[in-house]
Chain A
Amino acid sequence: MLIAEGLRKRFGDREAVAGVGFEIAPGEIYGLLGPNGAGKTTTISMITGVLPRDGGRVSVDGIDLDTGPPARRRIGLVPQAITLYQDLTARENLLFWGRMYELRGSALDSAVDEALEAVGLADRAADRVGTFSGGMQRRLNLVAGLLHGPGLLTLDEPTAGVDPQSRSAIFDLLERLRDDGMAILYTTHYMEEAERLCDRIGIIDGGRLIAEGTRRELIAQLDDDARIELAFTGGHASERSEAVAKTVPGVRQAHWNGEHLAVFAEDGSRCLPGLLSAMLEADLPPARIEVVEPDLEDVFLELTGRALRD
């Protein structure tokens, strides 16, 4: 459904996106996972034609984005911000966005009714959006991009600041849409969201796609690697433990996240004794040691040496 190739965008002398490409099939949710500033919004903006590209190609359903309206009406956009008019009612907002996607008459009315129903806002249709809670606005923001029945739906961090209830309502809706054959591009900096929702995940950092695959494939890249978590008593452990861990043979990455030290080792059990004695030697006795099954967080750490959320 979507083919993006070699997308590039510069802002001044900063390369925000430096050659990102991926494909999304119908009925697939593709997650673009990366920290703030990784280039997710810029990528989505180029795919939806909001920002001009400095390089690369985008085609949707076999139609080049540069053909304009034919491609654009196949794309739905749910921006990162709440892009609704606060002084208009929920229904007025949806009617407006429907009209901007060439819906008219009864097709428009029924699309709006369906959308309001889908996110449980039918009874608030006549209220101004400004009176809605953050979660309600998020849900409305989402369906505003869906009215015209796009083949590709792009969502830029659609769960920012929502309550757990709204979040799972959003996830349910997206899963339904996927099962109906929609291709979905979903950006997030929450590892759990990508793991739970996405069929395939692209990890983006510094404007580059550094890994791609299903959750299983990505974690398999870590081979037999394991993550060892060490917690310390007393406030003095801090970043020093990170430096100490990095000197231990077999340790590939170590990261102090403010609470505990995550150590990334080629072979967890082999490495453990060395790690422990190094800590004791450095007068950093661990209060707790745990070997954890790796997750996407570890994939990111392994690839970049940094945590996903800093």
Chain B
Amino acid sequence: MRFALVICLKDLRQRVRDRTAILVAVVVPMLLAGLVGLSLGSNRAGVSLRLALVDLDGGPDVVRLREHLARPWLEDVVTIEEVGSLEIATERLADDDADAALVLRKDFAQTPVSAMAGTAPPVEVLASGNNPFATRMTVALAERFLSENATGGTESEASPVPLPSLLAVSPTGRLRPVDFYAFSMTVLFLTFTVLSGVRSLQEEVEAGTLARLIASPASARSVMAGKLLGLLILGCLQMAVMIAATSLVFGTEWGHPLTVTCLVLSSVWMAIGMTSFFMAIAANAEQGQMLASISIFLLAIVGGQFMPAQGLPDVFDTLQRLTPNGQASRGFMDAAALARDGGLSALLEPLAVTLGVGTAGILFAGRRAGWTLERAMQ
């Protein structure tokens, strides 16, 4: 453990010494988030949700649903029009007079929530197809309503559908593009910072310093532990600085400290795994850096880190969920959206994906490392 600490401190000292790298790691994402975010409009432009509400139940629940949708933090965002039938709702959607429709099915009040699973959904969301963001937000609201309905107002573990993946809604009730970019650029540049650390590890192999480390009384395990610890701390530092900076400069609210901490750790883990994977399949540090940088950019594009998913076809939403970096960004958005309610359950998917990808990448690179060392000893 002592050796691990010595190595970790040495690594951090090396990273911190690289002043330009630090500047790039913090200033560039801030500028990007600021410029792009603000140029898209700092407010809730285009983020309003026009909801057509269809009440087929006719019971008292619709009142509760209305109350649910009338929360202060939604009032700037959601406008509700109650319509008489499914047909009218469909028409509204087709005419683009509504972004989504929420249908409360018949017998909604009579069906105990515990019996709902497996049957036709008691609440249905009609999507317009040209505004998936609105759809997702409506689904999220519906799920939230359902889960509160099930347990009389508290968080439910028995909610029939996974809790929402809501877009970033800051406590003022606005999803601001700048917040979206704060989350996604932080994740993107986290990956680059971690990449620089992973690259330095590969350089130790190439320079032969790793050979010297291995010859020392320190076990291979403590050498690896020290390296990993250094990367973790490096990533967390980068995240902490970015969270502080975006909060101060843009007023971005990141959410409950506990959920954010979990997401930070899992995102850093993901970044370590992802970058070490690319480094491990490359022939040398130079090539690894190239390969990883290009892949990170491609993944960022696919993962929707350069543009908010709103207004884009559903397939982008799926793509975002298929990339680990997309999941990380998404996790942070959801965490911000859920800030007032807390709750990790909605973050299970991003947490699981990022931790899983991170672990897989680290294991893969670890197995490769022994072989790389022998090759580097020539």
Chain A positions within 8 Å of B, measured between CB atoms, are 11, 41-42, 45, 48-51, 68-69, 72-73, 75, 77, 79-85, 87-88, 92, 96-97, 99-102, 144-145
Contact check, B217 vs A101: say whether CB atoms are below 8 A apart: yes
Does B151 have its Cβ within 8 Å of any Cβ on chain A?
Answer: no
Candidates A77, A81, A88, A99; contact of B207 at CB < 8 Å: A81
Question: Which partner residue on chain A sits nearest B206 by CB separation?
Answer: A81
A88-B208 contact given A68-B217, A69-B217, A75-B215, CB 8 Å threshold? no
Q: Does B216 contact A (CB under 8 A)?
A: yes
The reply to whether A45 and B13 contact each other, CB–CB distance below 8 Å, is no
Q: Are B211 and A83 in contact (CB under 8 A)?
A: yes
Q: How large is the interface on B (under 10, 10 to 19, 20 to 34, 35 or more residues)?
A: 20 to 34
Cα(A144)–Cα(B209), bound, Å: 11
Cβ–Cβ < 8 Å partners of A100 in chain B:
3, 6-7, 212-213, 216-218
Could you write out 8 A-B pairs with CB less than 8 Å apart?
Answer: A45-B211, A68-B217, A69-B217, A72-B216, A75-B215, A85-B209, A96-B6, A144-B212
Contact A50 B207 (CB under 8 A): no
B183-209 contacts to A, CB under 8 A, are 207-209
In the complex, are the beta carbons of A83 and B208 less than 8 A apart?
yes
Asked whether A92 lies within 8 Å of B13 as measured between CB atoms, the reply is yes
State the CA gap A11–B208 with chains docked (Å).
18
**In this assembly, does B214 line the interface, its C-beta being within 8 Å of a C-beta of chain A?**
yes
Which chain A residues lie closer than 8 Å to B67 at the CB level? Answer: none
Contacts of A50 in B (CB 8 A): 211, 214-215, 377
* CB neighbours of B17 from chain A (8 A): 87-88
Bound-state Cα–Cα, A259 to B217, Å: 49
Q: Does B14 interact with chain A (Cβ within 8 Å)?
A: yes
Flag if B219 contacts A79 (CB, 8 Å): no
- Asked if B87 is at the interface of the complex by the 8 Å CB criterion, the answer is no
Chain A: CB-nearest residue to B226: A100
A72–B213 Cα distance when bound, in Å, is: 11
| Cβ-based interface call for B95 (8 A) | no
- Closest A residue to B18 by CB, please name it: A87
B3, B211, B216: residue with the most chain A Cβ atoms closer than 10 Å? B216
Which 10 pairs between the two chains have the least Cβ-Cβ distance? A81-B208, A69-B217, A100-B216, A48-B215, A77-B215, A83-B209, A99-B6, A83-B208, A72-B217, A83-B212
CB-defined interface of B364-378 with A at 8 Å, one 1/0 digit per residue? Answer: 000000000010011
- Residues of B with C-beta under 8 A to A51: 374, 377
Q: Is B66 an interface position by the 8 A CB rule?
A: no
Residues of chain A lying within 8 A (CB to CB) of residue B207: 81-83
Separation in Å of the B370 CB from the closest CB of chain A? 9
User: How many Å lie between the Cα of A72 and that of B6 in the bound state?
Assistant: 18
- The CA-CA distance from A45 to B376 in the complex, in Å, is 12
| Residues of chain A within 8 A of B213, CB atoms compared | 100
Residues in chain A near residue B6, CB distance under 8 A: 96, 99-100
Tell me, yes or no, whether B10 is within 8 Å of chain A by CB: yes
| Nearest opposing residue in chain B for A51, CB measure | B377
In the bound assembly, the distance between CA atoms of A75 and B212 in angstroms comes to 11
Query: For the complex, what is the distance from the CA of A186 to the CA of B344, rounded to whole Å?
Result: 60
Q: Is the CB of A72 within 8 A of B215?
A: yes
Supplied contacts A50-B214, A72-B215, A83-B207, 17 more A-B pairs, CB within 8 Å: A42-B377, A49-B214, A50-B211, A68-B217, A75-B215, A77-B211, A77-B212, A80-B208, A84-B209, A85-B10, A85-B14, A87-B17, A88-B14, A96-B10, A100-B217, A101-B216, A145-B212
- Bound-state CA distance A102–B222 (Å) is 14
A99 to B7, CA, bound (A): 9
* Bound-complex Cα distance A270 to B374 (A): 52
A contact residues around B211 at 8 Å (CB): 45, 50, 77, 79, 83
